[in-house]
Structure 1
Amino acid sequence: MIFLGIDPGTKRAGFGVIAKQNGELKLLDAGLLKTESTATGAILEDITNHLEIIIKKYKPIACAIETLFFSKNQKTAIAVAEARGAIILTIQKNRIPLIEINPNQLKQYVTGYGSANKNDIKNTVELILKTTTKEYDDALDALALAIIASSNNII
């Protein structure tokens, strides 16, 4: 079974793909969905096109996406909300069950405490997946989300 995690963003969104077999989790792919576009429509199109490629390649059975956190910068919050909308629509169009997780839930679920830092998440993800990664924080969060998706009854 394949699971997808997505940490939404505008210029870059993290993704993580893991497999679950016989109770073991294995890293398949992780990285960033990047765009050089500047126009909102083009940014959203780039993100969804990259996501479609990942979905077609791995055929995940479930996905977890991070929810928005409170942002003092309204412009950034709106842009990330738009990206989330495009990502959620792409997931829905592909009929993939989706779970939404807030940042504190992610930290709590993966590390056991809600005030974990990025290094704590990285260490725990590497321990769970039995690998070391040089991924960006966005991709590590996405892998953590994929781990959560693999353990939830959303399919």
Structure 2
Amino acid sequence: MTLILGIDPGSRITGFGVVRDTGRGCEYIASGCIRTGTGSLPERLQTVYRGVSEVIRQYGPITMGIEQVFMARNADSALKLGQARGAAIVAGAESGLEIAEYTATQVKQAIAGTGGADKQQVQMMVMHLLKLLQKPQIDASDALAIALCHAHHRQSLIPHGLTQAKRRSGRLRL
């Protein structure tokens, strides 16, 4: 059984979700949001780093899935998102986690069956797949979806002996 951490990065709110991959499905372990407040960007990035590090210490995942940056309407927002994502990746790498990156379309496709699913559709599928009785916060729900996507991708690699393969630009590198 593998504990998987999913991260939905953000400079104001970073969602996290932890699931256990049993080989026959996934079980919900925990989820929540790391709220960075209104401090300077360096202070907010430090909060993301410390928050992700604490989640890793508390739950002990061995692998992490994180959403890739997409080009937003505002370049400044995309840069801040990328920096928050970097802080989360460093926290995972420093803890020795295997880290995989997924586009929003890949996550939606894996969870809802269509890359065009909206946040509410993804949230409802996360609830269904993990048998949750209450809706998680939207950022936490997105992070759980990333963790589930990572579990699905890992399961598809196991029969081929590729679980230790490296991803580069969305492709496997052996």
TM range (shorter): over 0.9
Give the structure-1-normalised TM-score: 0.93
Instruction: Report the CA distance between 1:138 and its aligned residue.
Output: 1.2
Number of aligned positions between the proteins? 155
Structure 2: unaligned runs, 5 residues or longer: 155-162, 165-174
2:20 match: 19
Mapped partners of 2:50, 2:4: distance in 1: 19
Partner of 1:49: 50
Gaps of 5+ in 1: none
Aligned to 1:146: 147
CA distance in 2, matches of 1:44, 1:136: 21
1:1-25 deviation per Cα after TM superposition (whole angstroms, max 9, x unaligned): 2110000001110100111235231
Q: Counterpart of 1:33?
A: 34
SS at match of 2:32: strand
1:118 is matched with 119
Instruction: Tell me the residue number matched to 1:73.
Output: 74
Corresponding position of 1:99: 100
Q: Which has the higher contact order (CA 8 A, sep 6+)?
A: 1
Q: Percent identity over the alignment?
A: 30
- Answer whether contact 1:62 1:150 (CA < 8 A) is retained: no
The residue number in structure 2 matching 1:84 is 85
Aligned mates of 2:133, 2:6 — CA distance in 1: 18
* C-alpha deviation, 1:37, in angstroms: 4.2
- Say what the alpha-carbon RMSD is for the aligned residues: 1.4
